[in-house]
Amino acid sequence: MTHTLDATMRTYLERTVPRLMLVLDPIKVVFENLGDDYLEEREVPFDPKDPAKGTHKVPFAKIIYIDRDDFRELDDPDFFRLSPGQSVGLLNAEFPVRCISFSKDSAGKVDEIKAEYGKDVPAGRARIHWVGESAKHSSPIKAECRIFNPLFKTQKPNELDWKNGGYYDNVNPDSEVIYANAMVECGFKEIQARAPWPKEEGEATGTADKSSVRFQGLRTAFFAEDSDSTPEKLILNRIVSLKEDTGKK
């Protein structure tokens, strides 16, 4: 039943909500071949499949942020994203990028990538999402993203032996995963201002709550703003993943 509900929500959201670039676990990328004041404004659609949703501008600058899942310290022929010496395409950007080097923090975690961007960089094997750093555009917008997963490991919790601790032993430790330092592109402000989106689906402007601020994080999931969100701290909840978990039975 849950899978049917997820599929129904996914179909509705895919058809109706705008798209944005959202980085859950960001790594800073600095382009060594660009000046400190380098800035492009990229005009991107809210939905490439539906021009009626309109467009917005996002900044591309000397510093951008990519998701940690899109980088590996060692190159792998089966890994089609960014790694040392390898290049990758960027969604909504004109040219590919190539990793030159990277550094780590005191805990041994990659915290910065040195890279180059331009027409002379070889084409990458894939395209990844990113968020640019620009004070002029108040970008990136920092957010806390909450990912909710099944509470239990089993698909049939009613069959657990609750008298002998079955419920506790079967609780999923990853039923809630919080990304406290996520970043979303500045187009989110327009989505907030225009919510609910879409208006023709029965929600009147000014009467809906924060959950009507909905969007698809490209290559990530569908999200809605949480009721606890404030102007000082944006909180986003995952509504549903982009596709069905193939591990489910």
Question: Looking at residue 247, what is its pLDDT?
Answer: 44
Question: Looking at residue 246, what is its pLDDT?
Answer: 43
The CA-based angle 63-190-67, given to 5 degrees, is: 35
Under 8 Å between Cβ of 221 and 240:
yes
- With 0.75 as the threshold, say if the pTM is over it: yes
Under 8 Å between Cβ of 100 and 107:
no
Question: Looking at residue 124, what is its pLDDT?
Answer: 84
Q: Is residue 249 part of a domain?
A: no
Question: Looking at residue 204, what is its pLDDT?
Answer: 56
Q: Is residue 145 part of a domain?
A: yes
Total domains, the chain: 1
Q: Which two tokens stand for residue 66?
A: 């990519």
Rounded CA-CA distance 116/208 in Å is 44
**Residue 133 sits in a domain of what CATH number?**
2.40.240.10
Q: Is residue 248 part of a domain?
A: no
Backbone angles phi, psi at 12, to 5 degrees: -65, -45
Domain range enclosing 235: 2-241
Question: Looking at residue 237, what is its pLDDT?
Answer: 97
SS (H, E, C) the chain: CHHHHHHHHHHHHHHHCCEECEECCEEEEEECCCCCCCEEEEEEECCCCCHHHCEEEEEEECEEEEEHHHECCCCCCCCCCECECCEEEECCCCCCEEEEEEEECCCCCEEEEEEEECCCCCCCCCEECCEECECCCCECEEEEEEEECCCECCCCHHHCCHHHCHHHHCECCCCEEEEEEEEECCCHHHHHHHCCCCHHHCCCCCCCCHHHCEEEECCCEEEEECCCCCCCCEEEEEEEECCCCCCCC
Question: Looking at residue 248, what is its pLDDT?
Answer: 41
What are the average pLDDT values for consecutive 10-residue runs of the chain, which has 249 residues?
A: 80 94 98 97 95 95 97 87 94 96 96 97 92 97 93 66 64 86 97 80 60 94 96 96 62
Q: Which two tokens stand for residue 78?
A: 């089966």
